[in-house]
Structure 1
Amino acid sequence: MKDTSKSIPQEAFDWYDSYAHCGMGRRTFIAKLGSLVALGYSMSVLTSALLPNYALAEQVSFNDDDIKATYVQFDSPLGHGKGRGYLVEPTNVQLTNKEGLLPVVLVVHENRGLNPYIEDVARRLAKAGYIALAPDALFPLGGYPGNDDEGRQMQSTLDRTKIEQDFVAAAEFLKANPRSNGKLGAVGFCFGGYIVNYLAAVKPDLLQAGVPFYGTPAAKALRAEIKAPLLIQLAELDERVNATWAEYEQDLVAAKVPYTMHMYDKANHGFHNDSTARFDEANAELAWKRTLAFFEKHIQ
């Protein structure tokens, strides 16, 4: 039997991407995986590799002495009224200013709520010396339910415009943190990458640096307003998102937006997420190194 994640054919990753982004129902997704079983693949290996295992994703423990993690609420009058997020602050950082202020970074999840992988990304940023806030779009429905399938379905029922405004409110809340140096960065993944692009466009002075990982652009009518430098991280095998890049790049050039785009060789959509077989360790580490360097340059 072909039962290692390394042997999983590319079409399985493509099917999962379609399933995860509501282009394919679960029954169809499982049926397509079943067609691979007939070719000698193990269904248990396929599903365990493609679906997340968040025990694999923790790089920084919530008990780490260098950070302090709490959940906070914030007002969102144009969104769902109230929002909630995972706030992580460094406790052992050498300050570069006498005021004791730190740069702040908003961390935006995929289309399934605030899962453990995104919380860990927030802890990684705090470990690197940033105050990080990871909001949960599912807070109006009780929060991330503990599994991605249910979280994805829940998020699809929420008003998209109100979700966007919840993240605007979260960004404003974070930037106004008493320990903030007034410079806001944002990093997001998939849907979160879209939100980073949206924040850069809808309130041009709010964001000082944006890092969208495999995210689609904001509405075309908004793009001319973008001012913040962008570090755009794309995956070579991500045909769905990559199809939007050529036009987006033209609009960024026309608006004279400072940007850098990196296309990661042989990487799938979601390659930074270390809880599934889509994870590409070498590309993920390089992309994260570039992310930290970008934030250091623009918001430190």
Structure 2
Amino acid sequence: MDTTSSWINIPAADGQFGAYLALPRGGKGPGIVLLQEIFGVNGHIRNVADQYAADGYVVLAPDLFWRHGPRIELGYDDADWRRAVELKNATDVELAQQDIGHAVHALRAQPGVQGKVGAIGFCFGGLLAYHTAANGQVDVAVAYYGGGIQHQLARAAQVRIPLQLHFGALDAHIPADAVARIATAFDDNDAVEVHVYDQAQHGFNCNHRASYQQRAAAQAHGNTLVFLSEHL
């Protein structure tokens, strides 16, 4: 990919944390804050950042597990799954939202960022993208298989920006009735889109996982790019 990447440091109230910055060819474009899965800013998330940078966006992926150790990077075997769940359960969601706010501020300050800033999140990051939308921290948000959104629907009325949600029809972690409740919560909000992909499981976008589903990943990526182009 014809992109440039580096790590930068972002100040927070209780320290500083790293974030992976990917720049498009020419170094300029709208901004995207990319929110990690429970596996950290690992190779997959960096690949996604590079992918969206190749699509013309300035992408910043903050390390949201930094309070447990800098740049924790996990894979998808059983041991790393257990560690990932431990880290997710130990992460204060309120502090993570504050960190995302700092990352958005840092992204807007990048000289190459032109226009608006969006958020895209996967798995745990999908839930955080939903919170980011409800907080009004960005101009548009996209959440892939955001586990737990169905338990946070009291915040649905606070979402006043365009929001796109992606789910797999075969997701064992987010069952069909949960997706239906989420969709119903946004029935009266024309700025919210819900996409469900047949034969897709949780993590269908990640080609590092056995649940990767190329067709769903391609469709979701296309839907995301159209959505971003309309709102950023």
Amino acid paired to 2:178: T
Cα distance in 1 for partners of 2:112, 2:21 equals 12
Select the residue among 49, 53, 60 that pairs with 1:126: 53
Partner of 1:140: 67
Partner of 2:3: 67
Partner of 1:183: 116
Cα distance, 1:257 vs structure 2: 4.7
The answer to whether the aligner puts 1:214 opposite 2:145 as a matched pair is yes
Residues 160-187 of structure 1: per-residue CA shift (max 9 Å, x gap): 3212221222122212322222311111
Comparing 68-77 and 267-276, the one that deviates more: 68-77
Cα distance in 2 for partners of 1:145, 1:133 equals 16
Give the SS at the match of 2:174: helix
TM-score where L is the length of structure 1: 0.69
Residue correspondence of structure 1 range 279-294 to structure 2 within 5 A: 279-294=212-227
Select the residue among 169, 186, 189 that pairs with 2:102: 169
Structure 1 gaps, min length 5: 1-63, 94-100
Cα distance in 2 for partners of 1:269, 1:106 equals 21
Cα distance in 1 for partners of 2:228, 2:211 equals 25
Amino acid paired to 1:103: P
Cα distance in 2 for partners of 1:207, 1:298 equals 11
Partner of 2:12: 76
Greater per-residue strand proportion? 2
Cα distance in 2 for partners of 1:186, 1:70 equals 19
Cα distance, 1:84 vs structure 2: 1.5
Cα distance, 1:74 vs structure 2: 1.1
Partner of 2:126: 193
Does the C-alpha gap of structure 1 residues 244 and 69 become closer, same or farther in structure 2, counting only changes over 3 Å? same
Indicate conservation of the 8 Å contact 2:172/2:201, yes or no: no
Cα distance in 1 for partners of 2:25, 2:138 equals 24
Comparing 173-182 and 266-275, the one that deviates more: 173-182
Corresponding pairs, count:
223
The answer to whether the aligner puts 1:85 opposite 2:19 as a matched pair is yes
Residues 108-147 of structure 1: per-residue CA shift (max 9 Å, x gap): 1111211110010000011111000011112223234443
Give the SS at the match of 1:240: coil
Partner of 2:181: 247
Partner of 1:17: none
- Rg larger in structure: 1
Indicate conservation of the 8 Å contact 2:36/2:121, yes or no: yes
Comparing 276-285 and 173-182, the one that deviates more: 173-182
Amino acid paired to 1:180: V
Two-structure CA RMSD over aligned residues (Å): 2.0
Partner of 1:117: 44
Indicate conservation of the 8 Å contact 1:117/1:275, yes or no: yes
Does the C-alpha gap of structure 1 residues 163 and 234 become closer, same or farther in structure 2, counting only changes over 3 Å? same
Cα distance, 1:107 vs structure 2: 0.8
Select the residue among 34, 39, 43 that pairs with 1:107: 34
Cα distance in 2 for partners of 1:122, 1:264 equals 22
TM-score where L is the length of structure 2: 0.87
Indicate conservation of the 8 Å contact 2:40/2:73, yes or no: no
Cα distance in 2 for partners of 1:82, 1:128 equals 29
Indicate conservation of the 8 Å contact 1:104/1:132, yes or no: yes
Partner of 1:266: 199
Residue correspondence of structure 1 range 31-70 to structure 2 within 5 A: 64=1, 66-70=2-6
Give the SS at the match of 2:173: helix
